[in-house]
Structure 1
Amino acid sequence: MIMERSKLLTLLLLLGLIGVSFSIELKPEHGVHFPVYNHTLAKILVEYNAAVYESDLTELFTWTCSRCNGMTKGFEIIELIVDVQHCLQAYVGFAKDLNAIIVAFRGTQEHSIQNWVEDLYWKQLDLNYPDTPDAMVHHGFYNAYHNTTLRPGVLDAVKRAKKFFGEIDLIVIGHSMGGAMAAICALDLTVHHGIKNIQVTTFGQPRIGNAAFASYYSQFVPNTIRVTHEHDMVPHLPPYYRYFSQKTYHHFPREVWLYNIGYGSLIYPVEKICDCSGEDPSCSRSVMGNSVLDHLVYYGVNLQAESWNSCRIVSGPHLSRYTTADNTGNIILSKDPGSILHLVNAVSGDGASAS
């Protein structure tokens, strides 16, 4: 047994599979430059994404929740948007350590994850993307961002933050259905609002549209990383049919596939940087997408709410001065970016003390 493990270890070292990422690199076309994967940044961003599942609005808005710690400590929310009508949630805020504005989208809670995944098998490409006639997108993902309170809330917060903080990076993140909304949001901010320096990182994101849409998206938002995990079923949906390339759903690049290799006590994590096609057959497509558990945990971080069967929120009266609500009960909690910078500078000693 010791001899067998020694041989396996030697083989893995020769293949370069231990403790490193490996990839098949293709030259980008038409001057498009695809992003470089940063392991540390991805682990920070997955913690930010976990926090958006918090249902206690007081703890989330003040960034005091149990998930609002670790590598995200000190983050300041500018705007928290809760679309109660459609059970959606997102926030926009300032990360001093990253010197970036973060926009985070929560995945679906409207039904159980199993029922939502099953529904994706039957969704069809039935909506033309408005800016290019050949591009088609999943109407549910498109509407979840464009036809809810999320879009106006996010746009308002991003514009206020960019006006105050200047041309710092904007990082848009999302898990599951939230990953689809994150990508659509980034495209909207780039194409319709001229915002530059946008990075996108998604976790367990489903396919959004057809190949024409994936190409269009990559042209405008090339700095995108889609992280997938082991046998996570959601990145396999809606299904990809290779013999119907123009009509089928198609991922955009760049995928980073997380999986384990080895056996027994010799298990090693691998982070594989995939090719520029968006549908690298040697990455997550090389395995069956049959795991809900792999969908709910990325980098060891739990990405789910207390319950997938409800849209429960908790709020307190002391948030009333930050709160606006519409007649359907949707909520926006908002802060002035100037007060955030004042607090950040006070803590770091870079400016005047907080009063």
Structure 2
Amino acid sequence: MDGRRWLKVAILLCLVVVSAGRELKFRHNHQFPIYNHTLATILVEYASAVYLSDLTELFTWTCSRCDGLTKGFEMIELIVDVQHCLQGFVGVAKDLNAIVIAFRGTQERSIQNWVEDLYWKQLDLNYPGMPDAMVHHGFYNAYHNTTVRPGVLSAVKEAQELYGDLQIMVTGHSMGGAMAAFCGLDLMVNCKAQNVQVMTFGQPRVGNSAFVSYYNELMPNTIRVTNGHDMVPHLPPYYSYFPQKTYHHFPREVWLHSIGFGSLVYPVEKVCDGSGEDPTCSRSVSGKSISDHLMYYGVKLGGDPEGTCRIVMDPHVAAYRTEDLSGNLVFSKYPSASVLKINTDLDPNVQGSII
């Protein structure tokens, strides 16, 4: 074996040892949730499926992304807020013995404008009941001040009545990840739910350090997965010299990236520290990639090629549909249990555009 081949073998062995050592060390830390690769590859498929615009295939779980690791999922409710271009669903994954909630992120066509807008967004909303905690108005509004929240809470209640007190797993990509974080907190604080887990992909920052402290105390079972040079986790910007005023990520991050050179490239899933802003994880690279934002674990995250808020619906699902005066839709497996609130009772202090 020549010198170059020996060098490649030695580098590969070092990478394996370093990776194994990191995982072993983390498994002994019970303060934060243990990252589960298998669970992440399952939940990312739910975060992908929720983007689809064919509501018939999505509601019946027969869509092109409704197979593989999510096969057999039972949809309870599909919520489509047409007015704000938001979408989410609630159902039961029997293989996980869990209720799964997924939120759609920003559609592809508007990502560039959305990213540019986030550079200028300020902390502008006091989170209720948390002194000094401030959050992003648009992300808070997307979950709390649309038809999404009443639809989700109604479906969770229905699922619990049917299947008992299952674990709840909340997921989403991009802005859907921000909504997932607010939903998990809402379930724990306002609905007194037990055993709630949040796992997001390519999520932006949503609040300041005070909010992060509250969130981390109330929602310790949270994983944020970031990928390579994905630009969205870098937004809104974090300014280390304004620690109390700037946006701040909550822990725990898992950073997907590759190391090596030439033909020897090794994928790494790095479990980051408990700060939420580990400088050796995604913050160690420039966040300039949209392609890294749209692909996690080899799964496409984003809408149809058109990237619009259009919907496709077959007439035979109309019996499951409830519609409000603004055209917002809820498809429920149990139509009599469906709840769709008209936007007349929304909090006037947080009304406005989503972004």
| TM-score, with structure 2 as normaliser | 0.90
User: Against the structure 1 CA distance between its residues 27 and 308, is the aligned structure 2 distance closer, same or farther, given a 3 Å change threshold?
Assistant: farther
User: Against the structure 1 CA distance between its residues 77 and 283, is the aligned structure 2 distance closer, same or farther, given a 3 Å change threshold?
Assistant: same
In the alignment, the residues of structure 2 paired with residue 206 and residue 332 of structure 1 have an alpha-carbon distance, to the nearest angstrom, of: 27
Q: Which letter does structure 2 place at the counterpart of 1:95?
A: A
Equivalent residue of 1:92, what SS?
strand
Equivalent residue number for residue 84 of structure 1: 82
Structure 2: gaps of 5 or more residues? 336-355
Structure 2 residue 47 is matched with structure 1 residue 49:
yes
Structure 2 residue 349 is matched with structure 1 residue 316:
no
User: Which of residues 316, 331, 341 in structure 1 aligns to 2:329?
Assistant: 331
1:18–1:268 CA contact under 8 A, matched in 2: no
In the alignment, the residues of structure 1 paired with residue 84 and residue 2 of structure 2 have an alpha-carbon distance, to the nearest angstrom, of: 56
Equivalent residue number for residue 10 of structure 1: 10
Equivalent residue number for residue 287 of structure 2: 289
2:151–2:330 CA contact under 8 A, matched in 1: yes
In the alignment, the residues of structure 2 paired with residue 19 and residue 69 of structure 1 have an alpha-carbon distance, to the nearest angstrom, of: 31
Structure 1: gaps of 5 or more residues? 338-355
User: Which of residues 241, 264, 267 in structure 2 aligns to 1:266?
Assistant: 264
Structure 2 residue 89 is matched with structure 1 residue 100:
no
The offset of 1:16, in angstroms, is: 3.4
In the alignment, the residues of structure 2 paired with residue 133 and residue 188 of structure 1 have an alpha-carbon distance, to the nearest angstrom, of: 17
Equivalent residue number for residue 343 of structure 1: none
User: Against the structure 1 CA distance between its residues 110 and 19, is the aligned structure 2 distance closer, same or farther, given a 3 Å change threshold?
Assistant: closer
Equivalent residue of 1:271, what SS?
strand
Q: Which digits, 9 at most, give the CA deviation of each residue in 1:161-184, with x for residues without a partner?
A: 122211211000000000000000
The offset of 1:15, in angstroms, is: 4.4
* Correspondences of 1:151-190 after superposition (within 5 Å): 151-190=149-188
User: Which of residues 105, 121, 140 in structure 2 aligns to 1:142?
Assistant: 140
The offset of 1:149, in angstroms, is: 0.5
Q: Which letter does structure 2 place at the counterpart of 1:126?
A: D
In the alignment, the residues of structure 2 paired with residue 233 and residue 317 of structure 1 have an alpha-carbon distance, to the nearest angstrom, of: 40
Q: Which digits, 9 at most, give the CA deviation of each residue in 1:303-339, with x for residues without a partner?
A: 01014642010001111110000011100000139xx
**Backbone CA RMSD of aligned residues:** 2.1
Equivalent residue number for residue 349 of structure 1: none
User: Against the structure 1 CA distance between its residues 303 and 270, is the aligned structure 2 distance closer, same or farther, given a 3 Å change threshold?
Assistant: same
Equivalent residue of 2:248, what SS?
coil
Q: Which letter does structure 2 place at the counterpart of 1:233?
A: M
Q: Which letter does structure 2 place at the counterpart of 1:257?
A: W
The offset of 1:160, in angstroms, is: 1.3
Equivalent residue of 1:240, what SS?
coil
1:136–1:210 CA contact under 8 A, matched in 2: yes
In the alignment, the residues of structure 2 paired with residue 81 and residue 62 of structure 1 have an alpha-carbon distance, to the nearest angstrom, of: 14
1:26–1:276 CA contact under 8 A, matched in 2: no
Equivalent residue number for residue 255 of structure 1: 253
Equivalent residue of 2:150, what SS?
helix
The offset of 1:154, in angstroms, is: 0.2
The offset of 1:131, in angstroms, is: 1.3
Equivalent residue number for residue 68 of structure 2: 70
Equivalent residue of 1:311, what SS?
coil
The offset of 1:159, in angstroms, is: 1.2
1:22–1:271 CA contact under 8 A, matched in 2: no
User: Against the structure 1 CA distance between its residues 308 and 240, is the aligned structure 2 distance closer, same or farther, given a 3 Å change threshold?
Assistant: farther
Equivalent residue number for residue 191 of structure 1: 189
1:109–1:308 CA contact under 8 A, matched in 2: no
In the alignment, the residues of structure 2 paired with residue 21 and residue 101 of structure 1 have an alpha-carbon distance, to the nearest angstrom, of: 33
User: Against the structure 1 CA distance between its residues 145 and 21, is the aligned structure 2 distance closer, same or farther, given a 3 Å change threshold?
Assistant: farther
Structure 2 residue 211 is matched with structure 1 residue 213:
yes
1:83–1:149 CA contact under 8 A, matched in 2: yes
User: Against the structure 1 CA distance between its residues 314 and 25, is the aligned structure 2 distance closer, same or farther, given a 3 Å change threshold?
Assistant: same
Number of aligned residues: 335
* Identity rate, percent: 68
1:205–1:226 CA contact under 8 A, matched in 2: yes
Q: Which letter does structure 2 place at the counterpart of 1:42?
A: A
Equivalent residue number for residue 342 of structure 2: none
Mean alpha-carbon deviation: is it higher for 81-90 or for 155-164? 155-164
